[in-house]
């Protein structure tokens, strides 16, 4: 980054962020103190149902002082986890979100209840980082967790603890409302509105907050949930987590004999089919735009609510995802442009990438997002970490965390990173998509211009899923954009990352045999390029990052249109 449009985009973003920072510090834009201090929780009426599954065996680990979150672990040796430096920011987010209380509730013992009260008491007393403000998503998760797990925390508690707990909930609600009045990012606004709506339904004494939160919730759902049910961030993980909160919220309205907002009902009805579109036969979601390991039990719980008689969604035109199916074979493709900048912190440069599954076995994958680690996450967002084409080792998107070559730009980028995160500065424009049936085979074609500005090339990809035998035929084309000068020769790598369970073996005829643990055998072959087997890494493994292999087609694209054809067929 640092030349041309990226630099101007950076400075435009800097101007918007300066204005936003001034607004946050100007009294007329901040929350009115009399509104925020008026709300005081006087009692709890209901405890929402937590749809996230729990594991009672994990309560033994917690009791013994072992806390495992986001792929990192910490042994506290009889002390409070709040007294230690977090192993990673993601670990800290999980700890202070208190979602792990559900495992203690699943144990359903007096010891687990006492343990939960002790941890909550440590937090309320301000130990460790608890005295500092949490990010809005973490504060929202904590408020929902306290409300959902209030029966666990309050059973057997004395009056003083009960009053302190109510005071903590009220303080958390006021802080979230204050964040809503200070121009929080879109996803944070939505999460805060969900949490405040929960608080208004579950608590006595803060009815005004409920009315305001419901209005904000309706507005944010209408703005952020796309007509096809996807979220504007294009992040499957965010959609799944949001649904796990929206479904119990819908029931909480009914439990209080209050009609849920129409926007909430419509959002849930649209989001469930969109999530099913991204689901593979192994009960996990496709690894696009921030999706890592899928909590299969959570996904299964959600899809129970999706009506069995509804027509399956095969193409989400607004979200930019498409699905092809043939018997047990499933193909899911990313055919969308990057999300808006303010919702692109997790977005990846994976345009025209795909994942292929046979039954419950993944074959071709994207590397997925790791649970933690800034460097790993940056690598996972690159085009090279996706099963698509990369030109000159360059991603089709440019991210804010890429180095600026001017010292003022570096200072601006650092400040913006602290406030906005590694958002997408530039990426492909609207992606042209074509779907049709050809001699009984499903065909999907798409093209993007992410490489036009630097290399004068348009990438086109065509998938054809056919039977007899089952095969996926593909073609990648690199066309010269007529508006730019004749491009110089550039190296191109077309990558096909393989799942860790797939064994790749080169054959004498230049093809590659893919052995699946299920006993199936598939064959990969190509025309116009030689197939190479190279090392790769699968970030989305259940036990963390794992070494795997990738098939790579290396070619050189010069001034003329260049094509490469490939096939993955079942033997």
pLDDT tens sequence for the chain (571 residues) = 444 556 666 666 666 666 666 665 654 444 443 344 456 899 999 999 999 999 998 999 998 999 999 888 999 888 899 988 899 989 999 999 999 999 999 998 999 999 999 999 999 988 766 545 678 999 999 999 999 999 999 998 999 999 999 999 999 999 999 888 777 789 999 999 999 999 999 999 888 889 999 999 999 999 999 999 999 999 999 999 999 999 999 999 999 999 999 999 999 999 999 999 999 999 999 999 999 999 888 999 998 888 655 678 999 999 999 999 999 999 999 999 999 988 999 999 999 999 999 999 999 999 999 988 788 999 999 999 999 999 999 999 998 876 555 555 566 667 666 666 788 988 999 999 999 999 889 999 999 999 998 899 999 999 999 998 999 999 999 998 877 666 688 999 999 999 999 999 999 999 999 999 999 999 999 999 999 999 999 999 888 899 999 999 999 998 788 999 999 999 9
Structure tokens, 199? 């608080």
Tabulate helix, strand, coil % of the chain (nearest 5): 40, 25, 35
CA dihedral 41, 45, 51, 55 (to 10 degrees): 80
430 by Cβ neighbours in 10 Å (0-12 / 13-18 / 19+) ranks as: exposed
C-alpha 419/C-alpha 435 separation (Å) is 40
Structure tokens, 346? 């997790």
C-alpha 175/C-alpha 349 separation (Å) is 35
C-alpha 95/C-alpha 83 separation (Å) is 12
C-alpha 460/C-alpha 557 separation (Å) is 13
Structure tokens, 564? 């490469």
Q: Is the dihedral of CA 137, 139, 143, 146 positive or negative?
A: positive
Taking Cα atoms as reference points, which of 387, 345, 347, 368 lies closest to residue 472? 387
**DSSP readout, 373-396?**
-HHHHHHHHSGGGSSSEEETTB-S
**Residue 539: phi, psi to the nearest 5?**
-75, -25
Do you find a cis peptide bond into 399, omega within 30 degrees of 0? no
The single-letter DSSP state of residue 231 is B
The single-letter DSSP state of residue 503 is E
Structure tokens, 57? 């065996």
| pTM metric for this prediction | 0.91
Taking Cα atoms as reference points, which of 232, 492, 534, 536 lies closest to residue 365? 536
Look-up of token digits 């670990």: 91
Q: Beta-strand (E) ranges in 131-218?
A: 203-204
User: pLDDT value at position 496?
Assistant: 98
User: pLDDT value at position 207?
Assistant: 82
Taking Cα atoms as reference points, which of 249, 321, 305 lies closest to residue 272? 305
User: pLDDT value at position 401?
Assistant: 74
User: pLDDT value at position 467?
Assistant: 93
Structure tokens, 263? 């926007």
Taking Cα atoms as reference points, which of 513, 551, 504 lies closest to residue 530? 551
Q: Is residue 383 a contact partner of residue 396, using CB atoms and an 8 Å limit?
A: yes
């Amino acid at each position: 980054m640092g030349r041309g449009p990226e630099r101007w985009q950076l400075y435009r973003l800097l101007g918007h962020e300066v204005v936003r920072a001034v607004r946050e510090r100007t009294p007329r834009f901040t929350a009115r103190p009399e509104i925020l201090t008026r709300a005081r929780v006087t009692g709890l009426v209901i405890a929402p149902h937590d749809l996230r599954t729990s594991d009672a065996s994990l309560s033994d680990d917690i009791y013994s002082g072992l806390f495992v979150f986001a792929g990192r672990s910490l042994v506290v040796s009889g002390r409070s986890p709040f007294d230690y430096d977090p192993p990673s920011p993601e670990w800290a987010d999980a700890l202070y979100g208190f979602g792990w209380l559900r495992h203690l509730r699943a144990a359903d013992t007096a010891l687990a209840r006492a343990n939960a009260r002790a941890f909550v008491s440590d937090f309320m007393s301000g130990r460790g980082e608890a005295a500092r403000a949490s990010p809005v998503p973490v504060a929202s998760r904590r408020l929902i967790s306290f409300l959902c797990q209030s029966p666990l925390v309050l059973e057997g508690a004395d009056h003083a603890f009960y009053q302190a707990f109510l005071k903590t909930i009220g303080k958390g609600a006021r802080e979230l409302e204050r964040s809503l009045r200070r121009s929080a990012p879109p996803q944070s606004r939505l999460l805060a509105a969900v949490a405040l709506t929960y608080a208004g339904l579950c608590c006595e004494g803060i009815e005004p907050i409920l009315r305001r939160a419901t209005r904000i919730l309706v507005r944010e759902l209408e703005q952020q949930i796309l007509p096809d049910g996807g979220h504007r961030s294009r992040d499957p993980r965010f959609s799944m987590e949001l649904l796990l909160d929206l479904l119990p919220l819908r029931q909480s309205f009914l439990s209080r004999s209050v009609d849920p907002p129409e926007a909430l009902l419509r959002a849930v009805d649209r989001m469930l089919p969109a999530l099913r579109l991204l689901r593979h036969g192994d009960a996990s979601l496709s690894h696009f735009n921030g999706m890592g390991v899928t909590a299969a039990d959570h996904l299964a719980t959600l899809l129970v609510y999706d009506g069995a008689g509804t027509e399956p969604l095969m193409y989400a035109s607004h979200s930019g995802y498409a699905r092809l199916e043939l018997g047990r074979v499933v193909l899911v493709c990313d055919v969308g442009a990057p999300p808006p900048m303010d919702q692109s912190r997790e977005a990846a440069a994976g345009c025209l990438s795909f994942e292929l599954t046979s039954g419950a076995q993944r074959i071709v994958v994207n590397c997925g997002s790791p649970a933690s680690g800034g460097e790993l996450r940056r690598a996972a967002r690159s085009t090279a970490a996706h099963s698509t084409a990369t030109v000159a080792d360059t991603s089709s998107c440019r991210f804010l965390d890429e180095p600026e070559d001017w010292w003022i730009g570096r200072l601006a980028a650092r400040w913006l990173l602290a406030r906005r995160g590694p958002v997408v500065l530039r990426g492909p424009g609207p992606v042209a998509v074509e779907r049709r049936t050809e001699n009984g085979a499903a065909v999907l074609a798409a093209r993007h211009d992410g490489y036009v500005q630097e290399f004068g090339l348009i990438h086109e990809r065509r998938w054809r899923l056919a039977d007899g035998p089952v095969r996926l035929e593909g073609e990648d084309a690199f066309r010269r954009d007529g508006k730019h000068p004749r491009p110089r020769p550039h190296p191109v790598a077309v990558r096909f990352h393989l799942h860790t369970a797939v064994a790749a073996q080169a054959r004498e005829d230049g093809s590659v045999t893919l052995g699946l643990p299920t006993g199936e055998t598939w064959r990969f072959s190509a025309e116009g390029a030689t197939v190479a087997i190279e090392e790769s890494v699968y970030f989305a493994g259940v036990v963390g990052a794992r070494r795997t292999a990738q098939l790579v087609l290396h070619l050189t694209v010069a001034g003329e249109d260049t094509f490469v054809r490939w096939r993955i067929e079942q033997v």
